Amino acid sequence: MHPYVRWIEIDLDAIIHNFCQIRQLVPPAVKIMSVVKADAYGHGSAQVAGALAEAGTDMFAVTTIEEGLELIQAGIKNPILVFAPILPDQADLVLEHGLMPTIDDWEALHALASAAAQKNIKGSFHLKIETGMGRTGIPSLEVSQFLQEIKELPQLQLAGVYSHFATAMMKDKSFAHKQLSIFLQAVREIKREVSGEVLAHIANSAAILDLPDTYLDMVRPGTLLYGQYPSPYVSKKIELQDPWQMKGRIISVKKLAPGDSVGYGRDFVTKKPREIGVVPVGYADGFGVLPHTRPAKFYDLVKSTAKLLSQILGLIAPNYMIYGKERLPVVGRIGMQLSMIDITGKGIARGETVQIPIRRTTAGGKITRVYLRDQKISAIREVAAVQTQK
């Protein structure tokens, strides 16, 4: 047993299982680029990448150069694509560390060529094509002009071309098919004009499940690796395992009389005797923090409004923790680093463990990650400033 009072358990075997499910679904000739951006969706990029490299992934993808450097420092040898297009002044950095940059404008292209020439090396990159996401990538109509420019830059090698689906996770796939058509036209032109292997990839997790005609040379699973389906509308043709559990120990138990209050603002006042357990996790750790999204349809607005009203009326608990299979409601306001749960009549003692539902990508970086292999602790990622003696 470890000494932590709050931690996140990550089962690396579950992530490897999910990868193998994808590998079995996708034809052997199709490569897999495992997406480990955002600290591997909160699971820990270095540890997850190490497990996936062992499982046989071909490449990795991150969003930023900093994320790529973290993988390199962890000893990852697989090629690493940086999704965010580089700025011209970052060209030297990506070449120095062997990262695979994304290019989507002329200035960055020439900066990469200049940096490669100075180092007397061949600078490889992936070209991003804009097909309807509206974020990054060159317009498909500029592909011909871009190819001509690349031909005049012998210091560079176009290693890949890709785009990003906007709606593959939705029930209606018509826009995804439109994007694919635009992308395939660009791919045909590129492969006709460029010598050497150019990896074409567009399939994300949703497309891997529902759009096999998008596999092309490589697929890019992200969400699937972490045991989650991209949306309720995708098929569940592979069996996923959830690698993630946040846990905390009850550090204090208080017996309250009728009329006692709990937390800031006295939002919760007991009407009868209660037992309250205190768990050292709060909004600074991402607990109870949800993204604000605009309802896409009127039905979504009605559904979200009904849920909010039910919470206000106390019909459902907006936040809770789990003991065994039972939900324990959070009472009072969630504090910065402490939350209170109602454990009345449950026989729960100080020091016992509860599960804490939390959004993975917003879970605090200062929460210790405990990694499991074969149901045993294989590694622990602690906060650097407070290393625990072992």
Tokens 């029930």, residue located: 171
Amino acid at 11: D
Q: Is the pLDDT of residue 306 over 80?
A: no
Residue 385 is predicted with a pLDDT of 45
The two structure tokens encoding residue 174: 């018509």
Residue-wise pLDDT for 148-198, tens only, equals 999 999 999 999 999 999 999 999 999 999 999 999 999 999 999 998 999
How far apart CA 201 and CA 203 sit, in angstroms, is 6
**Cβ count near 86 (within 10 Å):** 23
Q: Is the pLDDT of residue 307 over 70?
A: no
In total, the chain counts a number of residues equal to 390
* Three-state DSSP state, 354: strand
Write out the residue limits of the CATH 3.20.20.10 domain(s) in the chain: 12-226
More confident position, 314 or 322: 322
Residue-wise pLDDT for 107-163, tens only, equals 999 999 999 999 999 999 999 999 999 999 999 999 999 999 999 999 999 999 999
Give start and end residues of each alpha helix (H) in the chain. 12-25, 37-41, 45-55, 65-73, 91-97, 106-119, 143-151, 174-193, 205-210, 298-312
Residue-wise pLDDT for 250-259, tens only, equals 999 999 999 9
Is 23 annotated to bind a ligand? Reply is: no
Asked if 101 contacts 87 with a C-beta cutoff of 8 angstroms, the reply is no
**Of the listed ranges 208-222, 284-298, 306-320, the one predicted with least confidence:** 306-320
pLDDT more than 90, % of the chain: 87
**pLDDT bucket at 365, cuts 50 / 70 / 90:** confident
More confident position, 346 or 292: 346
How far apart CA 304 and CA 306 sit, in angstroms, is 5
* Strand 31-35, strand 6-11: pairing: unpaired
Could you give the C-alpha distances from 343 to 149, 254, 279, 340, in angstroms and in order?
67, 10, 12, 9
Asked if 57 contacts 32 with a C-beta cutoff of 8 angstroms, the reply is yes
**pLDDT bucket at 8, cuts 50 / 70 / 90:** very high
The two structure tokens encoding residue 124: 């490889």
Name the phi and psi angles at 304, rounded to 5.
Answer: -70, -35
Residue 388 is predicted with a pLDDT of 47
Residue 387 is predicted with a pLDDT of 47
Tell me the whole-structure pTM to 2 decimals: 0.90
Residue-wise pLDDT for 15-72, tens only, equals 999 999 999 999 999 999 999 999 999 999 999 999 999 999 999 999 999 999 999 9
Mean pLDDT of the 291-309 span: 53
CB neighbour list of residue 212: distance below 8 Å, 6 or more residues apart:
none
Asked if 260 contacts 75 with a C-beta cutoff of 8 angstroms, the reply is no
**pLDDT bucket at 318, cuts 50 / 70 / 90:** confident
**pLDDT bucket at 289, cuts 50 / 70 / 90:** confident
Partners of 123 in beta bridges: 156
Is 336 annotated to bind a ligand? Reply is: yes
Q: How far apart are the first and last CA of the chain?
A: 11
Residue 2 is predicted with a pLDDT of 85
Q: If DSSP states are collapsed to H, E and C, what string results for 337-350?
A: CCEEEECCCCCCCC
Q: Is the pLDDT of residue 389 over 70?
A: no
- Nearest one of 30, 33, 7 to 368, comparing CA atoms: 7
Could you give the C-alpha distances from 334 to 283, 291, 339, 343, 380, in angstroms and in order?
7, 16, 5, 16, 27
HSE on the CB side for 85, CA within 13 Å? 21
Q: Is the pLDDT of residue 229 over 60?
A: yes
204-17-326-250 Cα dihedral, nearest 10 degrees: -100
DSSP 387: P
Q: What's the CATH number for 251-351?
A: 2.40.37.10
Residue 201 is predicted with a pLDDT of 98
Residue 182 is predicted with a pLDDT of 98
Residue 300 is predicted with a pLDDT of 56
The two structure tokens encoding residue 153: 């830059």
* Strand 274-279, strand 252-256: pairing: antiparallel
User: Any idea which residues carry the catalytic annotation?
Assistant: 37, 264
Write out the residue limits of the CATH 2.40.37.10 domain(s) in the chain: 251-351
Asked if 199 contacts 193 with a C-beta cutoff of 8 angstroms, the reply is no
Residue 142 is predicted with a pLDDT of 95
State which CATH number among 3.20.20.10, 3.40.50.10240, 3.30.830.10, 3.10.20.310 fits the domain covering 12-226.
Answer: 3.20.20.10
